[in-house]
Structure formats: structure tokens, C-alpha cells
Structure 1
Amino acid sequence: MPTLVEIVPYDAAWPRHFEACAAELRSLLGPCVIAVDHVGSTAVPRLSAKPLLDIGVTLRGGHDISAACAALVAAGYESRGNRYGDGMWAFLHGTAVPPRRVYVFAAGNEAHARRITFRDYLRIHDEAARDYERLKMRLAVAHPYDGDRYTAAKGAFIADIVRRARAAADE
């Protein structure tokens, strides 16, 4: 059943919820975890977002993915698979408060690097963050029960920000 694409005002508790979840994930997945990163709009202060934490878990290597996936499923996460062929396996914990989507992948994953670049750019460029917020609000109205179209329609904006951020880093 489709779920509503809901955008809510920034919640100052999101970083605390992320820290608690990161500790749980490190404990659950053990020494194969290199890093746990808060990504997505809830990771950008003052930015309205879907009330769902997006969390990236970097594993030592591809050989750790199967065991990590099994541990997440055993802990109550719903597997969403590797839908985009980007080396990231997604899991949803919809009953957690707030709900969380966890991505696991091997170190060096390019899709995760783009997410970090995008997040960091929005954290320091308020105008870009506001533009993104306005885009998300429009898209939530245009695609209220179609999360895939909502996400796809943000792609060009995100790609442009990543391009700008990487170009600035190369200067």
C-alpha cells in the first residue's frame, strides 16, 4: 500500500535519534562497521524533511554485506534490496520512532560518497538548502503517494549540487 510523502518541519531531536540508532547499529553489526553516517534531509539542520532517518553504514568490504543484511532482518528491519544496482542494500524499520531507513555497503561506495557530498553542501549553503526544501514541498504535493516519482524528480537537482560541490573542491 502506498504511503504518503509527508514533509515536516525540521526536528531538533533528529540528531539525537541518529546517535542512538548509530550506537545500536554498531552493536548489532559489530567490527565490520567502518562508519555510520546520518544522511538525507534529517541530517541538514533547519531543513524540512520526511520524518524518516536515512542512515548509511559503511562496511569493511563486500564480504561483510550478507552477514550485515541477515543481522538487520533478524533485528526487525524489512529488506528493500539493492533496487538501483548501486551496491547499497536498503532496509526499513518502519515501527521505530522515528522510522529509519538503513543502507549497508562496502567501503568506497560512490552512491554514498555522493550523498555525503550533497549533505555537506546543503549544511553550509543555506540558499541551496532552501531551494531543495521548496523543491521537496512541490514534489510532495505533485506525487503525494508515489515515493519513487518523488525521489526520481529530485535527481537533477541533487546531481547539480554534487557537481557544483565537487567542482568547488577541485579548485
Structure 2
Amino acid sequence: MSAARGVPRRCGGWRVGYLWGPSQLIQASARVHNTFNGSVNTVVQDAALVAVESCDEDVARMRAAYEQRREIMRAELAAIPGLTLSAPEGAFYQFPRYDLDLPSVEVVAGLRAHGVVVRPGSEFGACGEKHLRLSYAAGPQSIVEGVRRLADGLAALR
């Protein structure tokens, strides 16, 4: 435990952030945020303070882990025919484009039969159609197994 108000020293899983930008954007975002989230409770505020003040090593360790996972997933996905990869710009998701002549919701439904749970790209706007959203928040072995199942599922959909 940390000396700071009994908050666990290990930092992870807490979600707190900030927004920076033009004041009109910040004001509009604050209205939306307040509508959906109200205020952040004291425990989360205390955890955020500990994270900001003393979790640099944890953040660096997790960043390295996610970079490794991203590269594992990219390498595995690159071996699947019909996928076009892009470089993630944030978070822990790949968003590959597929060449099947099927809507992404149908591809996702077909992949479930192979033990694959992904999000259809169409959920992220019209330009997301023919894409899949894949998370690499899992461990390396799970990523490799998931991409293997994805390859099998896409092959079966052909």
C-alpha cells in the first residue's frame, strides 16, 4: 500500500484522463461528460493522484508490454491473406481491412463460430465498413491463438 491515503501502490485499471484543446471544444465536452459521468469519486481521485505522482515505472512497463503485443498481433495478422493492416495511433486496437464481399457485422457473426469475438468496423462509422476492430489487451499467447482462429474463420468465410 502507498503511504498516500491507503491507495494500493500498483497502478492499473483505473480510468481518469484530461482533455486539452480549444475552449469551445472543452466546454462542449464538459457538458457531455457531466451528463454521462457526474463526478469522479474520491477513491478514483486518490488513485489518479498516486498514478500521476509515482507510477512512471508501471506506465513504462505497461507501454512496453502493449508495444510488444501490438507487434505480435501485426506480425500474425500480416500472414493472413486478404487483410490490409494500418498502424494503430493509440489505445490497444488493430483495425485491419478485409477483402471479403460481406458486411462487417456478417463477418463478425461468422467468426464467432470459430471462437473469435471482435467488433465490426461499421460500429465506428461508414468508413469502418469492411474492417474489424481487434484488441491486443490480452497476453501474447492469447493474441497468437486469437489470430489463428481469426485466420481459420476468415478462410471458412471465403
- Sort the TM-score into its range (normalised by shorter chain): 0.3 to 0.5
Q: Return the index of the structure with the highest Cα Rg.
A: 2
Q: Which has the higher contact order (CA 8 A, sep 6+)?
A: 1
TM-score (normalised: structure 1): 0.33
Which protein has the bigger strand share? 1
